[in-house]
Amino acid sequence: MPVSKGRKSANKRPAPPPTKDPIKSKGPSPQWYVTTMFGTMGLGAIIIVVNYMAFVPGTPRNTLLLGGLALIGVGFAMTMDYR
């Protein structure tokens, strides 16, 4: 029975240098960002509550509801960049 030649050794490349993690290099979020994020969500919720409690004449209006939901959406979108 013939003897196999075996596998040829592959060209081994050196490992690439380690790269910095871009998330860790940015650091934590500034305080104003966190305040703005929660402020927009809170303001949106307040607008919706005020809209349905009829504190503003001519309420409830759909524009106030959509504005409040938009502010809440902006606040949640800001959480994507929170570190």
Task: pLDDT tens for the chain, 83 residues: list them.
Answer: 777 777 666 667 788 888 877 766 778 889 999 999 999 999 999 999 999 888 878 878 899 999 999 999 999 999 998 88
User: Does residue 2 sit within a domain?
Assistant: no
In total, how many domains does the chain have? 1
- Alpha-carbon distance 49 to 12, whole Å? 65
User: Does residue 54 sit within a domain?
Assistant: yes
User: Does residue 38 sit within a domain?
Assistant: yes
User: Does residue 31 sit within a domain?
Assistant: yes
**Tokens coding 21:** 């993690």
> Residue 54's domain spans which residues?
27-81
Confidence at residue 11, expressed as pLDDT on a 0 to 100 scale = 67
Q: Which residue has the tokens 């919706």?
A: 48
Cβ neighbors of 4 (< 8 A, separation 6 or more) are none
User: Does residue 35 sit within a domain?
Assistant: yes
The b/e string for 64-83 (b: 16+ C-beta within 10 A; e otherwise) is: beebbeebbeebeebeeeee
User: Does residue 1 sit within a domain?
Assistant: no
Confidence at residue 28, expressed as pLDDT on a 0 to 100 scale = 86
User: Does residue 41 sit within a domain?
Assistant: yes
Confidence at residue 2, expressed as pLDDT on a 0 to 100 scale = 74
Confidence at residue 83, expressed as pLDDT on a 0 to 100 scale = 83
